[in-house]
Chains A and B, each alone.
Chain A
Amino acid sequence: MPASPSYRVRALSVLALFSVGAGSLAGCSSSPSGSTGDASAKPEAATITIAASTLGDPGRGPALQKLIDEYNASQDLVKVEPASVPYPTFGQTILTQMGGGEGPDLVRFDMPEFEAAASSGLLEPLENKIDAKKLNLIPGPDKYLTVDGHRYGVVFEDSNYGMYFNKDLVPTAPTTFDEFLKAAKDATKGDAFGLAFRQTQAEEAGVWQDIFNYVLGFGGNWSDGTKLTINSPKVVEGLKAYQQLYDANVIPKGADAATFRKMFTDGKIGMELNNGGYVSHVASTNPNLNFSVARIPFPVKKQGALLAPIVTNVNSKHKDADLDFINWLLQPAQQVKLQEVLGASSVATPTERSAASLQKFPFLPALDELTDTGVPQIVEGFGQYTPDIRHVVVTEVLAALQGQQDMNAAMEKAQKQAEDLVGK
């Protein structure tokens, strides 16, 4: 090197720079502010932002935006605007922003991200601001929103998983797993596939949602509440059923959800296990599709539920405004409208289906009944670790699908890795 720098000076300047940097990081620290809000008081004038992956759906997004516009028109103090967060990096982006001391004021989270954010102090505690009794919140799903004794959100959407089937390809709904497998095989002909589910690494979160139904439906669970049971026989049995369908060549292998859902509305997929939110998508994409929804025909009558709370960011500068919107949304009139937006999902409070939607979708009551047996897609007792356990489990399951290992061995490995994770 031609230059002869003074190492002392250089070292000093590096140190100086470093302390500048550390200072700027420290400047981001986010401390939960005291809860001093009164739900009935008028909020200060503010513009707040809301992030919801629903807003990005071509079908449901515009409808939800309309509901938000109604709120904006209903008063002139608070204006709610959508935040710019595309679905493919939704969780990563919001959590990075929140960890950095920023982020949208209101967020509709999926449960795994909700648990992670709640246990890291990124969400505003709401127990003093939300009166569950007065608001008549449905207790079943609501109980999952309390973490370490604090309520961190209210239910935005609670969507049960059912079996969607194209009646032209699958005339009668199967009622047992064997019938399900047979129906899938029978419907696979020509350019149609009997079934579709997610099975690629690129859709890790989606695979988790899909295998949840198999694990629960065969009597398994990822934990017993205090201990991980990923390698338990029932879990493995459910995953083997999932693998059996994969190996039966009844699904469009390698296809992502975007493609096979389009194929479903196009009449090329016989059956799909999906949540109630899918109803409005299917109906709006292809109003003529002859489809119905029934209970998933697995041995144990339990299935996954897509539980999505709406939360207040602890970094929000307008928490009164945030709360004003949440309270508005929880009013009966708005709950009905929100439910219409979301499709066959439930919302925070009991609502009556309108006669019009019941006539359009006669299967809605059957889907609503599933609420009692719905299980949110988290690892019970290990909520905050759900995203990490999900990564481990999905990776091992997919390696088994690829023929790299047997499902028993896969879950033994997953159990061990997950134990290491939560043990730390």
Chain B
Amino acid sequence: MTERNRGPHVLVRSPGPAAGTVAGRRDGLNGRRRRSVTGSPWTPYFFLAPAALYLVVFQLVPLLQEVWLSFTRTTLLNPTFSAWVGTANFQSIFANPAFRQTLLTTLVYVLACVVGSVGLGLGVALLLNGRFPGRPVARSLVTIPWAAPGIAVALIAVWMFNPQYGILTRLLRAVGIDPGASGVLDNPQLALGAILVTTIWQLVPFVAVVLLSALQAVPQELVEAAQVDGAGRWTIFRVVTWQVLKPTIGLVAVLMTIWSLRRFELIWLMTRGGPIGSTRTLVIDLYAQAFESKQLGTAAAIGMVGIVISLIVIVGSQLVARAAAKEA
């Protein structure tokens, strides 16, 4: 069942550019059988059609409208009337220095989310992978932050960071860190950090669960053999464990990137992008443009920028994965 272990890497890459290699190899190996199993050439479309139709109506059509809107001036109050303005929306957002700040904030936020959640998630996974009493209970409880709804998390986070009475503010002051009179969330130097702590708190369990399951694929015989040879813990991790986890970690990182680019409720409810724009990510900017300034055209243009960034991340990560696969 080697195929099963390989499942994750094969799977994740297949939808993208790497799909060619994977599908090609399969065709070579199984071409004859496939024709016999698949029956009529229409069979795949039979399985595909319901979901495809669904996504076309509920995702693709609205998305294409957004593409069009990004070249128009359209207001939320009258979305049926659009004036074509060419690339004016794109020009105006890129001419605005605040938008460059938004891009930078988004970059910092996404990078920190990915590094923080994957790093800590790996640590927690390794910790929970060992033997200790009560392991099943610990594995269950540690996932709670992931299950908690974003709105509930934002509400408790705001209260815990309350500048006068929040338990975290009290704790910070007790250990000698003064977040300023207006507290963490209204401090331009600290607000993004507070949102990051909250986000990472929520993401770590997810990463840990995924990596924990990937850890089950680490061949114990190899670990034991290395121990017999006198290899240190770090060496074993580097040579055995890391090699098994690497592809999964790559995938989790892509997933965390996309989810973090999209994250809305948590930031909106905690700071609305303030103070002075220090937590304004692309999605917050998009929402504010569409629903506060009521400029659907500008919001759509911001959305397009976000989509292009996501595409770059995905394609880039697949190129890296491909190069790594070639090396190996």
Contacts and interface: CB of A to CB of B under 8 A. Distances in A.
Direct contact of A and B (CB under 8 A): yes
Interface of A: 1-2, 14, 17-18, 20-22, 24-26, 28-30, 88-89, 92, 95-96, 98-100, 116-117, 120-122, 199-202, 204, 249, 252-256, 259, 387-388, 391, 395, 398-399, 402, 404
B164 A99 contact: no
A202 B65 contact: no
Nearest to A25: B80
Nearest to A201: B274
Residue picked from A21, A96, A117, A388, most chain B C-beta under 10 Å: A21
B35 to A, nearest CB: 17
B297 to A, nearest CB: 12
A100 B182 contact: no
Contacts of A252: 163-164
**What's the dominant secondary structure at chain A's contact region?**
helix
A222 to B, nearest CB: 18
Nearest to B186: A254
Given A254-B163, A259-B162, A95 B181 contact: no
Interface string B140-184: 000000000000000000100011110000000000000011110
Nearest to B75: A120
A200 B275 contact: yes
A375 B276 CA distance: 28
A239 to B, nearest CB: 16
B36 interface: no
Contact of A253 (B68, B75, B183, B271): B183
B8 interface: no
Interface residues of B, number: 45
A255 B163 contact: yes
B5 interface: no
Contacts of A24: 61
A14, A98, A253, A254: residue with the most chain B Cβ atoms closer than 10 Å: A254
Nearest to B56: A17
A28 B294 contact: no
Given A200-B271, A253-B186, 18 more contacts: A2-B19, A17-B56, A20-B61, A99-B79, A100-B79, A116-B294, A120-B77, A202-B270, A253-B181, A254-B182, A255-B162, A255-B164, A259-B162, A259-B165, A387-B292, A391-B293, A395-B277, A402-B276
A1 B77 contact: no
B65 A18 contact: yes
Contact of A95 (B180, B182, B294): B294
Contacts of A100: 79
B316 interface: no
